[in-house]
A and B are shown apart, each in its own frame.
Chain A
């Protein structure tokens, strides 16, 4: 373990201009990794930031397989095969630019990539490449690899990596480990979970250019709830209790998710083995400081005040191709397009212990405004500015105590809640004040 970390200790020390001793860095790095159990990348960046350095000067990336990649990695090294590659012209900051995009594969999975800078070597389907200092982002729930200005790409012999075979992975060997839902941790594989299915729905996704059905939903035991994805049709039904053996755990922005495929064994169990759905399907109320500590959670309830509206709230226009919100009529990826109108709110929700960005979709926003998207478009037209919609939202929402329920994810910019439902909070202030006062006078 120590030898493996040595290049990273060295990297951190160098990024800090040798201001701090290697022993000190080694001790800190080991504390981040073993005590706080954050990823190596996060640990390195945090240590550099803490000592006043610039994390962008870190140079030694971390070698990972594609399946290990998480959104928001700043510097990873990969060995991968080009599964497909295409060119496209995009408008970036007013100028036109040619980028490459396609799919990377290794024996663990495939992932989309984009090369934002010209590469020293031409890439063709089937090439094996060694990539250093790439970074990742999350887009519509999927990790994407990006090659930027600091990224080095070099070709390797085609035999450096086994041929990518889409489809079945290797079956697990050995006995699966039984895990409670609350104890599911990123990266665990071959686990056994006994849980009740609370909901399930079929979705069509594209895997390696071919359509594939995935069955996703929520499952729960007495310790908690989690999202799941089944990559094979096990005819899962809401309410049934089952044991899944051979599942693996991924996290999506801090929320652990259980996945299982044809390698897994499903056993249906007696329905009374676990409490009924209504008892399992509660959304625990949490403080934002605790969410920040955990790095996110699925289906939680937060009470706080909407203290500010963020940029991009109200009436927005989205790219018809990728659904990104347009800035000045242009999409970051697809240039100038005819935008499709949408309504949303991005607000700062602060509960006194911490703050997160709460995102409300069109339906919720229409409900808050008590106004349809069409009415908002008409109002904006009359005022000749979309600001009227934003102003009206600010009027209704800012300084309001609310209770919001949804999934909380985290990235470099902090926590974000995709709001599932929300209501203005009505608290019996007098009753609570009376109770506190009695406690105070009782203890005095």
Chain B
């Protein structure tokens, strides 16, 4: 049995998937097929593990971790059948950069609703450089599928043989045809934007918020802007507020932050600006919608 390759793909593409297929052989492997035709049995993900929670019982723990990348969030579940991964998860202190190798899973509680998740085989905390390299690999992989899907969309109907003829690898061509049959004509611009987003995430010149209309590509090197003292001050205050309001470890609620900030003389506009800046700098993150947490 040849080992299944570990796909590098972004959470947003993975979570768009709602097609599951089976391979052939004695113990047919199952695959999650994404709208761009990635036929995923195993994944390799590196992102920020933002929270780990036991959603099972004390006797039968089921650890759920959220792993965020520049495009979205992966959900990782490890229970009694993944003892090593479960034990590694339970010991992690989020937020940390984490590398996860695991099997793709799709869950459909009712028709029309599907959730994708990962059942981990290996979990390890890593450093930022490993995460950055992963983003680059995920971008390259995405680019390959975008190119292949663009070719497929020129064909009517696309076939494996036709794709192989224009230089698409057989393993990718197979998934592409399955994806086209299931998802129809996918809007590629959304994934092109995702690719650009992933690449910009790696580049310091795009980290500072840029005013609309200002040229972006012509900036040859990052211009380190000295942030104004005023902005600096309010960011410091906001950070303090978030830390103080995070009583239960689940993050500070937005309403609470706004209220406290107003009493300390930070306007709503400048609060939003500070939060955006802090998010960009990686000093805080949003564990769940409407809550902010210090990293």
Contacts and interface: CB of A to CB of B under 8 A. Distances in A.
Do A and B come from the same complex?
yes
Interface of A: 49-50, 52, 54, 288-289, 292, 305, 307-308, 348, 350, 352-355, 394-395, 398-401, 413-414, 425, 427, 429-430, 432-434, 436-438, 440-441, 444
Contact of A289 (B26, B169, B203): B169
The B interface, classified by DSSP as helix, strand, loop or mixed, is mixed
Contacts of B192: 440, 444
Contact of A307 (B26, B44, B129, B199): B44
Given A355-B5, A394-B124, A441-B196, 12 more contacts: A292-B2, A307-B122, A308-B101, A350-B5, A352-B140, A401-B130, A413-B1, A425-B133, A429-B202, A436-B140, A437-B196, A437-B199
Given A399-B130, A429-B132, A352 B200 contact: no
Given A49-B26, A307-B101, A440-B192, A352 B203 contact: no
B99 interface: yes
B8 A352 contact: yes
B202 A308 contact: no
B6 A433 contact: no
Interface in B204-225: 204, 217
Given A307-B101, A436-B199, A441-B217, A50 B5 contact: no
B195 interface: yes
B121 interface: yes
A352 B2 contact: no
Contacts of B126: 399
B203 A437 contact: yes
B147 to A, nearest CB: 10
A398 B5 contact: no
Contacts of B3: 348, 355, 414
Nearest to A395: B124
A433 B136 CA distance: 7
B202 A440 contact: no
15 contacts: A50-B24, A52-B24, A289-B169, A352-B137, A355-B4, A399-B46, A399-B130, A400-B130, A401-B133, A429-B132, A429-B136, A432-B136, A433-B136, A440-B143, A441-B196
Interface residues of B, number: 41
Contacts of B140: 352, 436
- Secondary structure at the A interface, as helix, strand, loop or mixed, is mixed
Contacts of A438: 217
Contacts, number: 97
B106 to A, nearest CB: 21
Interface string B131-147: 01101110111010000
Contacts of A432: 136
A433 B121 contact: no
A51 B217 CA distance: 54
B141 A352 contact: yes
Contacts of A352: 5-8, 44, 137, 140-141
Contacts of B143: 436, 440
B288 interface: no
A440 B199 contact: yes
A414 B2 contact: yes
A52 B6 contact: no
B133 A429 contact: yes
A30 B48 CA distance: 51
B157 interface: no
B5 A430 contact: no
Given A399-B46, A401-B130, A308 B141 contact: no
Nearest to A415: B2
A307 B5 contact: no
Contacts of A398: 99, 122, 124
Contacts of A354: 5
Q: Which 6 A-B pairs have the closest CB atoms?
A: A399-B99, A433-B202, A437-B199, A355-B3, A433-B199, A429-B132
A35 to B, nearest CB: 13
A437 B200 contact: yes
A353 B132 CA distance: 19
A440 B195 contact: yes
A52 to B, nearest CB: 7
Given A52-B26, A355-B6, A427-B136, A440 B99 contact: no
